[in-house]
Amino acid sequence: MKIAGNHGKTARKKNRKAWDYATIVRKRNSGATLAEINHKIRRFDYDNPKDRNHSLRNALYRLRVNGGYTDAKTGTWVPVRLKYRVKPGTIKAARKAGLRSGRERQ
């Protein structure tokens, strides 16, 4: 891949460190905090001193939205349901408020 201003040299694509989704799911469902999970998998976000758990929080978001992950060893899809870390009443109230606001917009 040639990049302008690179004087004919080819640029390498930066390799992204793979996430250990199996460990993340296991630790999160056992009740571990984000800091504990980051300590276990050694993925602190050192470029963001205000929020060292930012990358892990995004990975958890992707797990929730996609409903699972692809296993790196076997290449098979692993469905995942993560536990919520808030009271069930809070979730119920948020869903109810969201449904109510959706009806008002129509």
Identify which of 50, 42, 51 has the alpha carbon closest to the alpha carbon of residue 24: 42
- In this predicted structure, what is the pLDDT of residue 103? 59
Q: How far apart are CA 53 and CA 56, in angstroms?
A: 5
Mean pLDDT on 83-93: 79
Residue 104 pLDDT greater than 60, yes or no: no
> Could you write out the DSSP letters of every residue in 37-72?
HHHHHT---TT-TT-TTHHHHHHHHHHHHHTEEE-T
30-80 pLDDT, tens digit per residue, is 989 889 999 999 888 888 888 889 999 889 888 988 999 998 888 899 999
- In this predicted structure, what is the pLDDT of residue 76? 93
Query: Could you tell me the residue ranges of all domains in the chain?
Result: 21-105
Which H helix or E strand runs over 98?
helix 88-105
